[in-house]
Chains A and B, each alone.
Chain A
Amino acid sequence: MFNKEIETMPEKKMKELQLERLKWSVRHAYDNVPFYKKKFDEAGFHPDQLKSLDDMRRIPFLTKQDMRDHYPYGLFAVPLSKVVRVHASSGTTGNATVVGYTKNDIEVFSEVVARSLASYGVTEKDIIQVAYGYGLFTGGLGLHYGSEKLGALTVPISGGNTPRQLMLIKDFGTTVIACTPSYALNIADYIEKNMPDFKIEETRLRIGVFGAEPWTEAMRQEIEKRLKIDAYDIYGLSEVIGPGVSCECSEKSGLHVFEDHFYVEIIDPETGEVLPEGEKGEIVYTSLTKEAFPGIRYRSRDITRLYHDSCKCGRTLVKMEKVTGRSDDMLIIRGVNVFPSQVEAVLMEVPGIEPHYQIIVDRKGSMDDIEVMVEVNEKVFSDEIKVLNNLTKHITDRFRSILGISAKITLVEPQTIPRSEGKAVRVIDRRKLS
């Protein structure tokens, strides 16, 4: 264990630590971010009233929309001179959510990732290939810093270029790969198709660290079988910190939440009421130690359940089930967050295109496929194939540059997209994740 004292702290003692830190965090947000002050005042809540964990339910929620409304730095609680890094979620400029980190925040971020790696059995003797994208996305740099914090040899290869990934696995003696689970399967597919002589079992690869998108037990088994590794889930979201909010342990059943930095509640997504431990609902996060970007009762929209089960690994930290559902319409496609409204915004930029579209998400083989069906009306129709092909190419390019996803654009006849009770069915998700 990377931090045994914390990770095995008795539940009661952890709750005391949480309350102490919550008092600081809630006050920090209230004193330094006008948004929180206004919101708390309106709700009739003052940080002095926080006497027990139970009082948390009196604090209003923070939503993704609040973050968008305060783009880019409006929710930062320290001067920009104290901020050493920002990350941002995908999306059009107006929709991006920007999060900031002080030196201390980076230290915490690195620590929770290091703890996660240690919980999978990774040590300083390992060679970690970080195949998450490096950049505004928290995956690459998050894993990188955590891996260095642990003292492992870190290979910052970033995502993509599968032949090169495989070359480094072989030549560098990589023992751990960190990437999205769908990319792991993509690597397995690539070996099968293009490198039949490549023997993955003859490499030193032994552990996979997978996150940034929902994945199932079936996918775990497939990855483990095909890449001959142990596959572990790492969970996180940039609004809270990034990967390392919670992680699986040797038991591969549920993820331990690093409760000394993140306070978690489960609410009923309809009513906002806090649900008792064990019940399924939307998980809500409050940061306990973050300086630059405190998040107080952030509604993640992720659906899960919290429980204590005296885990065999020895950790006393609360566990959450693997997240497989959302309480909103956000899609996660190859690790990229996509809202149907963003798809619509891209389509609406194209002259003549009407807002009749449908998004079909599927997992063919290993990768998520997104197909966007667009109805062809008279304004965009032509008797020339090349004009229609240019149209699909143009839309495809816009999706790539604005949303960062490669979508297949399919032109369909008018009235093809089902309209139920006047409202179109916008998204069909065939990945069967839950």
Chain B
Amino acid sequence: MNVTQLSAFVANKPGHLQRVLKVLADENINIITLTIAETSDFGILRMIVNDPEKGYRVLKENNITCSTTDVLAIEIDDRPGSLYKALDAFAKMNLNIEYMYAFTEKREGKAVMIFRFEDIEAAKKALIDSGYNIVRKIDIIGENK
């Protein structure tokens, strides 16, 4: 049910993000969605890729500091106010979001967002109990893994 996110440490300098992307491109790894959290010195590139284990391996082989983390992909209605409603529900359940980002494509009329919760297991339980649909890994990254 959890989706594996691949994160990489990237210096905030020209050419550095490109270098990471080239490694993934050369290994035929597809990025499904990504986000970057930046500071003045560095950024953290967070990606959902079609093969996170291979992605992790090839980045490591190329001396790029990286890690994998479990995140949740959650379906949200694609209507004004629905993200607000979802966050309101999470807050009431006392679930702390570390960060979140969205998919570019809709899935059966709904938006899919990636959430990194402080406590993923607690979040999962609470979300299912309140009727949110957590998208399965296979539905996100496809069949090949």
Chain A contact residues, CB within 8 Å of chain B: 376-378, 381-386, 388-389, 410-416
Q: Shortest CB–CB separation between residue A236 and chain B, in angstroms?
A: 38
Decide: A378 near B44, CB < 8 A? Known: A383-B7, A413-B10: no
Dominant secondary structure of chain B at its interface with chain A: strand
Most buried by A among B5, B46, B98: B98
Distance of A416 Cα from B41 Cα, bound (Å): 13
Determine if B135 is an interface residue (Cβ-Cβ < 8 Å): no
Contact A411 B42 (CB under 8 A): yes
- Residues 42-84 of chain B, each 1 if its beta carbon lies under 8 Å from chain A, else 0: 1010100000000000001001111101000000000000000
Decide: A388 near B42, CB < 8 A? Known: A383-B69, A412-B11: yes
Contact A383 B116 (CB under 8 A): yes
Chain B contact residues, CB within 8 Å of chain A: 5, 7, 9-11, 16, 37, 39, 41-42, 44, 46, 60, 63-67, 69, 98-99, 116
When distances are taken between beta carbons in the complex, the residues of chain B under 8 Å from A414 are 63-65
Distance of A415 Cα from B99 Cα, bound (Å): 29
Contact A381 B11 (CB under 8 A): no
Q: Shortest CB–CB separation between residue B96 and chain A, in angstroms?
A: 12
Contact A384 B98 (CB under 8 A): yes
Decide: A383 near B11, CB < 8 A? Known: A377-B65, A414-B63, A415-B63: no
Distance of A389 Cα from B40 Cα, bound (Å): 11
Contact B65 A385 (CB under 8 A): no
Contact B98 A381 (CB under 8 A): no
Dominant secondary structure of chain A at its interface with chain B: loop
A384, A386, A389, A413: the one contacting B65 at CB < 8 Å is A413
Contact A413 B64 (CB under 8 A): yes
Contact B39 A378 (CB under 8 A): no
A-B contact list, 28 entries, CB within 8 Å: A376-B9, A376-B65, A377-B65, A378-B65, A381-B7, A381-B65, A381-B67, A382-B44, A382-B67, A383-B5, A383-B44, A383-B116, A384-B99, A384-B116, A385-B37, A385-B39, A385-B44, A386-B98, A410-B41, A411-B9, A412-B11, A412-B41, A412-B42, A413-B9, A413-B11, A414-B63, A415-B63, A416-B11
CB nearest neighbor in B for A379: B65
Beyond A384-B116, A385-B39, A415-B63, 9 additional pairs, beta carbon < 8 A: A376-B9, A376-B65, A383-B7, A384-B44, A385-B37, A411-B42, A412-B11, A413-B16, A413-B64
When distances are taken between beta carbons in the complex, the residues of chain B under 8 Å from A415 are 63
Q: Shortest CB–CB separation between residue A222 and chain B, in angstroms?
A: 29
Contact B42 A378 (CB under 8 A): no
Distance of A411 Cα from B11 Cα, bound (Å): 8
The 6 closest A-B pairs by CB, nearest first: A383-B7, A383-B69, A381-B65, A414-B63, A385-B37, A376-B9
When distances are taken between beta carbons in the complex, the residues of chain B under 8 Å from A410 are 41
B10, B41, B63, B67: the one contacting A383 at CB < 8 Å is B67
Q: Shortest CB–CB separation between residue A417 and chain B, in angstroms?
A: 12
Contact A381 B66 (CB under 8 A): yes
Distance of A414 Cα from B64 Cα, bound (Å): 7
CB nearest neighbor in B for A385: B37
When distances are taken between beta carbons in the complex, the residues of chain B under 8 Å from A413 are 9-11, 16, 42, 63-65
Most buried by A among B10, B41, B99: B41
Decide: A383 near B42, CB < 8 A? Known: A377-B65, A413-B64, A416-B11: no
When distances are taken between beta carbons in the complex, the residues of chain A under 8 Å from B7 are 381-383
A377, A383, A389, A416: the one contacting B39 at CB < 8 Å is A389
Q: Shortest CB–CB separation between residue A394 and chain B, in angstroms?
A: 16
Distance of A221 Cα from B84 Cα, bound (Å): 62
When distances are taken between beta carbons in the complex, the residues of chain B under 8 Å from A386 are 98
